[in-house]
Structure 1
């Protein structure tokens, strides 16, 4: 029987007549069933190795068939050679095929599967970037952020090392393999959740969007739930826990600044961080104002114009500074 039909049977893509034909063929001869089990073993083992659900199985099988045919040609016995007819020969061939399929499967994974055996460095320059990790977790690096990650086959966790800047994490749940972010001596540990981590020279800020996050230093430890944040002193490891009252921290993920009855000064602080600008709310009256609006993460000048029209304030340029009053 053609392997192509057996493959369709494995992928549950065979028609009812084809299913019947395969099952009759397997029942007719123990060697037929053994051949089918070998095909299934190689496929299942290759998927187990990478623990990935997003692989294009049809494409992988097509490439598998080609490699299998090539390997069969290469190892055809010459003259009286009967190596492949022996049990050891079949085992060796199976492992050759397993190696070939593993290479194929790895090619479908993010960063070619490198994180399964080594560290992968990710760097954002002047634009935020979004990356999908091997386990399906998604992270967004803000501009000028730098980190590395690994999710090794035999490792006990999924490890990220944030070296600079900030990143927003959307972590896939896996109770057997916690997701750990290391920031110096600080450790953030989760199972499955969404949160933001920002590292500056003086402190690290962790804000939880969904789920529960454990934040731990050599000196202190807290649990954070949705809409809570921790401010960690990078020098002494102390942790200050408080409520997170807005969604401005993830502007680089959503590409917008969402303000709901928010202090104008708080919104301006977020704009300064995003645009590396020096906008100052000068008048005491403007400092007391609140604003409800959604600003696109686009032009700073356009956003200041929207603020001016919404609140009736004046925006002016004084040297390198922009003044709101």
Structure 2
């Protein structure tokens, strides 16, 4: 169910006026009362303000055609979240600029009021776009979503016996401790249960991976359960009942939070695999003798070409670009 009422439209108008500094004293009081009235109103306001701030920063450097981008923005968001249509031309022009920059720059659209009905329970859905997104959940836990990932949770999250979340993609969770309300993540056919800890969960169509940084995590599939401690990793293959636990020997999984790739005696073959995943590239090692070469360095997350230049200089190897592939030889 998509929430899109006239009342919300009116409040969006008032929020825009406040952001522009054009609201009257009475209008500012009305917004203050609305924000303090409900927790979801306060969260909506913070998400609105974050989008506004990011779009202003990006708009200063953008030369895009905002009218064309606005059309694309409406087409894209009409399937996911209500589009803010403002009646006043001045405000509407600014929102169009902001939205156009958000779309082209790949900043996440925070889908707070895109709610879904599931057995009469409303779900809050939070999605990231082409950049990672950090958000604070109602219980105070902090989640960092990697690109093209999403979570959903009941609107009353934190008020029931368990704190249930469904994840698609990859996210890092820093969970607020609460022994009376376990934090439970459903991802693929795997369940991750914690009380208060920090850990990374990554899923795709082939497998689910859990890496623990602090505390203790329980990973379960069907009737199997396993405890995971700091610096340990559990991998669950799709269609396989086995829960495979091993030491987590690298910190590469942190790249979308730290913006760095830490290579600690990492084989070149593994580094190439990671870069292909991160950048969506097709890097191939043309000489198998190079696969076992090991690298110790930290890459700043700038660009793939910069990383390839460092690899070429480090190992004195050639980087070529035949077709849509990249070959190291």
- Specify if TM > 0.5: yes
- Is residue 248 of structure 1 aligned with residue 252 of structure 2? yes
TM-score scaled by length of structure 2: 0.63
Bigger Rg, which one:
1
- Is residue 132 of structure 1 aligned with residue 125 of structure 2? no
For 2:191 and 2:165, locate their aligned partners in 1 and report how far apart those are by CA, in whole Å.
Answer: 10
RMSD of Structure 2 on Structure 1 (CA):
2.6
Higher helix share: 1
Instruction: Write out per-residue CA displacement over residues 65-124 of structure 1, whole angstroms, 9 at most, x where no aligned residue.
Output: x89xxxxxxxxxxxxxxxxxxxxxxxxxxxxxxx98961555434778989x84210111
Match of 1:183 among 179, 183, 187: 187
Q: Is the 8 A contact 2:138 2:158 kept in 1?
A: no
Instruction: Write out per-residue CA displacement over residues 267-316 of structure 1, whole angstroms, 9 at most, x where no aligned residue.
Output: 11111110011112232331121111111222101111011112222211
- Is residue 108 of structure 1 aligned with residue 42 of structure 2? yes
SS of 2:302 mapped into structure 1: coil
Structure 1 residue ranges without an equivalent (≥5): 1-62, 68-98
For 2:248 and 2:262, locate their aligned partners in 1 and report how far apart those are by CA, in whole Å.
Answer: 14
For 1:102 and 1:300, locate their aligned partners in 2 and report how far apart those are by CA, in whole Å.
Answer: 46
For 1:118 and 1:102, locate their aligned partners in 2 and report how far apart those are by CA, in whole Å.
Answer: 21
Post-superposition offset of 1:182: 0.6
For 1:149 and 1:129, locate their aligned partners in 2 and report how far apart those are by CA, in whole Å.
Answer: 16
Aligned to 1:170: 174
SS of 1:318 mapped into structure 2: coil
For 1:101 and 1:254, locate their aligned partners in 2 and report how far apart those are by CA, in whole Å.
Answer: 33
- Is residue 270 of structure 1 aligned with residue 204 of structure 2? no
For 1:274 and 1:157, locate their aligned partners in 2 and report how far apart those are by CA, in whole Å.
Answer: 33
Q: Is the 8 A contact 1:118 1:152 kept in 2?
A: no
Q: Is the 8 A contact 2:231 2:249 kept in 1?
A: yes
SS of 1:119 mapped into structure 2: strand
SS of 2:321 mapped into structure 1: strand
Aligned to 1:233: 237
Post-superposition offset of 1:223: 0.8
Aligned to 1:258: 262
Structure 2 residue ranges without an equivalent (≥5): 1-25, 47-111, 116-120
Post-superposition offset of 1:131: 1.1
SS of 1:159 mapped into structure 2: strand
For 1:111 and 1:273, locate their aligned partners in 2 and report how far apart those are by CA, in whole Å.
Answer: 35
Q: Is the 8 A contact 2:252 2:261 kept in 1?
A: yes
Match of 1:155 among 150, 160, 163: 160
TM-score scaled by length of structure 1: 0.64
Q: Is the 8 A contact 2:35 2:45 kept in 1?
A: no
Instruction: Write out per-residue CA displacement over residues 44-81 of structure 1, whole angstroms, 9 at most, x where no aligned residue.
Output: xxxxxxxxxxxxxxxxxxx9xx89xxxxxxxxxxxxxx
Matches within 5 A, 1:1-325: 103=37, 107-109=41-43, 118-150=122-154, 152=157, 154-162=159-167, 164-325=168-329
Q: Is the 8 A contact 1:110 1:134 kept in 2?
A: no
For 1:286 and 1:101, locate their aligned partners in 2 and report how far apart those are by CA, in whole Å.
Answer: 59
Q: Is the 8 A contact 2:34 2:41 kept in 1?
A: no
